[in-house]
Amino acid sequence: MEAVNLLSSNKYSEKQIGYLFISVLVNTNSDLIKLIIQSIKNDLSSRNPVHVSLALQCIANIGSKEMAEAFGHEIPKLLVSGDTMDVVKQSAALCLLRLFRTSQEIIPSGEWTSRIIHLLNDQHMGVVTAATSLIDALVKKNPEEYKGCISLAVSRLSRIVTASYTDLQDYTYYFVPAPWLSVKLLRLLQNYPPPEDPGVRGRLNECLETILNKAQEPPKSKKVQHSNAKNAVLFEAISLIIHNDTEPNLLVRACNQLGQFLSNRETNLRYLALESMCLLATSEFSHEAVKKHQEVVILSMKMEKDVSVRQQAVDLLYAMCDKSNAEEIVQEMLNYLETADYSIREEMVLKVAILAEKYATDYTWYVDVILNLIRIAGDYVSEEVWYRVIQIVINRDDVQGYAAKTVFEALQAPACHENMVKVGGYILGEFGNLIAGDQRSSPQVQFQLLHSKYHLCSPMTRALLLSTYIKFVNLFPEIKTQIQDVFKQHSNLRSADAELQQRASEYLQLSIIASTDVLATVLEEMPAFPERESSILAVLKKKKPGRVPENEIREGKSPGPTANHQTEQPPAPAPTTNNVSTDLLGLSTPPASQPSTTSTSNTGVLLDVFGDMYGGTGTPAQANNVNNLAPAQSTYNAKKFICKNNGVLFENDLIQIGVKSEFRQNLGRLGLFYGNKTSFALQNFMPSLSIPDELQGKVNLQVKPVEPVLEAGAQIQQMLNAECIEDYSDTPSMVISFLYNNVPQKLTIKLPLTINKFFEPTEMNGESFFARWKNLGGNQQRSQKIFKATQPMDTTATRTKLLGFGMQLLEGIDPNPDNFVCAGIVHTRTQQVGCLLRLEPNKQAQMYRLTVRSSKESVSQEVCELLADQF
């Protein structure tokens, strides 16, 4: 109360103390606030400018909602009134800004707008400076209304930059004319796209050029203040150039200027230059110019004394990376990682992992990089990173063999990081069979290698290894007893860790009781992961909100992401790690219905898939959404399923369809998993078979009906039994109809029931192979195709596909080691058709020649058609 009395005093010092007191000790005691507001009101209308200033400062210091309500209308009047003193105007502008920040509604509109904008023309530089801050905030709220400020700001700026330093008297700071105002004007202009009016635009570009020119002039003073102020304006000008992103000439000049700063003596300048270059790297005009400085940047990453500057260098390298320099940059970052500061290691690891994934043209390189990463900085490799490498290896058939081989080698190091053991365990468990042919990595050796690490690992890793072991039981029956011994070990069966105990005992029982068929089904290879945003990118974004350069060069020139990963999906908050961990731990779970984002493949890709599926035999499958509801948002993997049995067959925004299948002789069982991805139930859900006429009588299918309602987020399973009676081409389809939001939807999905599914692999030696080959020499029995490779010609990938195709891959038969030779028998109810195959890659021409010989012409043709599309 005493303080309020002081406020209404006429003595300046008493008033001042009163204001100081309430600025510090204000609370929302309503009675008092009313009195205070009344006193302030009196002072605002006082004729003594000093009193008005005190009142304004007080409002600005408190800046509460009540203040905003009480004075929101008074202050704009003060601001634009002709007889207000300059000092008061300055305070009024900033005071209004403060109130505007607390409560957006007080924004004066209509007639005030133009009067506020015209403050930019004020004689008094202090007023202009304060007003620019206010206008900047107002523009952010309502750009259209304040559009008029663009031309005023440009002309004001041009007057400043062309002024000599003596013109502005006290507003020149160490020979730099009005640096604060210049910077504010440049900031203001960054709220708008480049000016449309060519005159204004020309003038702005002139200003920017002048600023760049001035940077080249010799300094007028040796003082650091001079260079700081000058460069502050320069950096802000560069920001504006980057923001406008229309003047290639200016962008390149800016880049060169920053390049000079990179080797400047001042740490601050090097820091800022690196930071600005990060932005330049994202413009298509200057991306190339930035790349010229790559060496210097790498040097500063390595040599810089200050860790925050090194951090900027790393950011810049990340931003300037593209297909052409990815390998070099990633290599340099890996080298540096060994000695890098602990505080930036984790982030660097994420960045390396993202770059490697994004720009990998050759996925073997990617696998190498990530494994190196684990080797060098294992402690800093977060779970997401190694989850991701596993996802990618599983989704890409062509690297699986290589990955298995590489992790096997990496595991042989005497001391390897636990993360390496995890990746190794997982990959060998899935794809160990691909390298088991080699004596040096026989099942026995693989198992012992993994188990030698077992005792050094944490329970979580042990649990993972136990899963690997049970997978080995399926892959390599010959070491089953050894593995059972491990399960039986005291430390496992009676482990203090409940998870280990459970796994050991359940896996043990599974291996004892289950028949090989059941084992094979339960422990089948993991289905492909649905595509989604790289979980690593999400982590990086979370870690540094707003600081992850989007890393997509603006305006086209997209670095052509491979179909395998799509970044920058707008809504991607789904914490994918949970899904991943369930996938990893629950080995036999069917493809989980994912609430996460779907990958978008554009319509073009979708049509491609339809167009060439199954080599054009029969009518192409159609995924007709009756309602055309975003058909572009779906992925359809039918082609992949020729060479594999399990995975996600189809996925769009509404539904995900996964398949697990197994075949024996002429019989097959398919599990179809329908997952509802929406938050509504799908009504009248009905999958029904559609068998083309020419298949009638050739294939026999039985399905079990399913519930007509598919609840939100739920998944149902439908079993389907198939019997092949006679060989056929084309495949049966499933027509799935349902109501989503009462809108009927219809999907037609080809079932992965191609004739090759009924293959039984046949082992034979060279002699008998050639004997049969010659026997089947007639024109009626032969089918041959020569075609261009559509994917990189990778031996391991090809092997994996041929193995998946269902025939036996015969080693050491063809005199040319590059060629592949296979044999198998197609089982039908009526007959068995023996089939031989030879695939000859020609790497120079990027072509393949595929020859299929069988005892039945139609089989030869169909097998040839099916396989020719796969490479």
Partner 1 sequence: MQFMLLFSRQGKLRLQKWYVAHPDKLKKKITRELITTILARKPKMSSFLEWKDVKVVYKRYASLYFCCAIEQKDNELLTLEIIHRYVELLDKYFGSVCELDIIFNFEKAYFILDELLLGGEIQETSKKNVLKAIAAQDLLQEEETPQGFFEDHGLG
Nearer to partner 1, 297 or 403 (CB): 297
Distance of CA 450 to the CA centre of its chain: 32
Nearer to partner 1, 129 or 576 (CB): 129
Between helix 149-162 and helix 198-216 the angle, nearest 10°, is: 30
Q: Is 669 helix (H, G, I), strand (E, B) or coil?
A: strand
Nearer to partner 1, 292 or 547 (CB): 547
Min dist CB 244 to partner 1, Å, is: 16
What is the distance between the alpha carbons of residues 75 and 98, in angstroms, rounded to a whole number? 11
Min dist CB 323 to partner 1, Å, is: 29
Nearer to partner 1, 165 or 773 (CB): 165
Show the 3-state SS of 709-770: CECCCCEEEEEEEEEECCCCCCCCEEEEEEEECCEEEEEEEECCCCHHHHEEECCCCHHHHH
Nearer to partner 1, 12 or 342 (CB): 12
Min dist CB 18 to partner 1, Å, is: 13
Min dist CB 791 to partner 1, Å, is: 43
Nearer to partner 1, 17 or 299 (CB): 17
Nearer to partner 1, 48 or 602 (CB): 48
Q: Which of 728, 723, 720, 724 is nearest to 751 (CA)?
A: 720
Amino acid at 740: Y
3-state helix, strand, coil in the chain (%, to 5): 55, 15, 30
Distance of CA 608 to the CA centre of its chain: 24
Min dist CB 146 to partner 1, Å, is: 17
Nearer to partner 1, 546 or 560 (CB): 546
Min dist CB 183 to partner 1, Å, is: 5
What is the distance between the alpha carbons of residues 179 and 171, in angstroms, rounded to a whole number? 8
Residues 6+ apart with CB under 8 A from 441: 405, 408, 435
Nearer to partner 1, 34 or 547 (CB): 547
Nearer to partner 1, 64 or 151 (CB): 64
Min dist CB 296 to partner 1, Å, is: 17
- Kindly provide the b/e burial profile for residues 821-830, where b requires at least 16 CB atoms within 10 angstroms of the residue's own CB: bbbbbbbbee
What is the distance between the alpha carbons of residues 314 and 515, in angstroms, rounded to a whole number? 54
What is the distance between the alpha carbons of residues 402 and 187, in angstroms, rounded to a whole number? 52
Query: Which DSSP symbol is given to 597?
Result: P
Residues 6+ apart with CB under 8 A from 543: 347, 350
Min dist CB 85 to partner 1, Å, is: 11
Min dist CB 229 to partner 1, Å, is: 5
Phi, then psi, of 841 in degrees rounded to 5: -80, 145
Contact 700, 754 (CB under 8 A): no
Q: Which of 309, 251, 97, 105 is nearest to 184 (CA)?
A: 97
What is the distance between the alpha carbons of residues 167 and 171, in angstroms, rounded to a whole number? 9
Nearer to partner 1, 16 or 683 (CB): 16
Contact 274, 297 (CB under 8 A): yes
Contact 98, 60 (CB under 8 A): yes
Min dist CB 186 to partner 1, Å, is: 9
Min dist CB 171 to partner 1, Å, is: 6
Which residues share a beta bridge with 784? Answer: 851
Give the residues lining the site for partner 1 (CB under 8 A): 11-14, 16-17, 20, 50, 57, 60-61, 63, 87, 90-91, 94-95, 97-98, 101, 125-126, 129-130, 133, 170-171, 173, 178-181, 183, 187, 225, 228-229, 231-232, 235-236, 267-268, 270-272, 305-306, 308-309, 311, 545-547
Amino acid at 859: V
Tokens 């009163």 belong to residue: 18
Nearer to partner 1, 17 or 629 (CB): 17
- What are the tokens at 215? 């940077």
Min dist CB 531 to partner 1, Å, is: 32
Nearer to partner 1, 545 or 812 (CB): 545
Phi, then psi, of 703 in degrees rounded to 5: -125, 155
Q: Which of 843, 764, 861, 842 is nearest to 851 (CA)?
A: 861
Nearer to partner 1, 189 or 356 (CB): 189
Min dist CB 117 to partner 1, Å, is: 18
Nearer to partner 1, 98 or 358 (CB): 98
Min dist CB 383 to partner 1, Å, is: 24
Q: Rounded to a whole number, what is the largest CA-CA distance in the chain?
A: 119
Residues 6+ apart with CB under 8 A from 679: 712, 713
Min dist CB 751 to partner 1, Å, is: 52
